[in-house]
Amino acid sequence: LKIKEILTRGPVGKLVNELKPGDIIATIQGVELTPKVETSKLLNGTVDETIVITVIPRDAKDPMDVKSRKRYELNPVPRDRLTNLFYERWVSANARQVEKLSNGKLGYIHIPSMDEAGLDRFVRALYSENFGKEALVLDVRFNGGGFTHDQILNYLGAREHTIFQSREGEKGLVLRSYDRKWTKPIILLINNRSY
């Protein structure tokens, strides 16, 4: 099995400096991997156990030389933990793509659900890395639904109504996040899996 990618904070994340894309997993639990070996039989039911793999580095001079293999011990994780890691990977890839295609002018936020956790994620993303952008790509594809949409719309659909002016003549908007409003353009991504 050729390693395509090392998942950030995944089960081999601590080995990110040792395992690299392009390395080849030669054995799992001592079983030599061939096209006839079902890896699921070797890996299913191993959460919280230690499994041993051997890996042929991508730059090995002789990949067939057993001495070039390196041995690693891994601890498989439950599927739900991987699901969250794959979600974060997907969101990060989308944000990087928006950043690249817009030359940094557009921000990107995915709202996974219309509940308190989704609202909190939205507010943090809006007021941290995205508030200074010229426009916002708001992604609600695969949104799990809930009842915080009115609160989100309050951040997005209202107008700024309060501007402070100091005695020294400086002007500025309200600093409290729940009073701040997004007044710039929004692009909405939605699909038939959005509740």
Nearest CA among 28, 26, 30 for reference residue 11: 28
Q: Is 110 helix (H, G, I), strand (E, B) or coil?
A: strand
What region does 27 belong to: left with phi over 0, alpha with psi -120 to 50, or beta?
A: beta
| Alpha-carbon gap, residue 135 to 61, rounded angstroms | 50
- In which residue ranges of the chain is pLDDT below 70? 160, 174-180
| Alpha-carbon gap, residue 60 to 143, rounded angstroms | 45
Planar angle of CA 55, 59, 64, nearest 5 degrees: 60
- The confidence score (pLDDT) of residue 176 equals 63
Distances in Å between the alpha carbon of 136 and those of 73, 88, 129, 182?
Answer: 43, 19, 11, 9
- The confidence score (pLDDT) of residue 144 equals 94
Q: Is 116 helix (H, G, I), strand (E, B) or coil?
A: helix
**Which pair of tokens denotes residue 186?**
């929004």
List, in order, residues 6 or more apart from 37 with CB less than 8 Å away. 31
* Residue 187: count of CB within 10 angstroms of its CB: 12
Nearest CA among 140, 97, 134, 104 for reference residue 121: 140
Tokens 């699901």 belong to residue: 83
- The confidence score (pLDDT) of residue 81 equals 85
- The confidence score (pLDDT) of residue 66 equals 80
- The confidence score (pLDDT) of residue 12 equals 83
Q: Model pTM greater than 0.85?
A: no
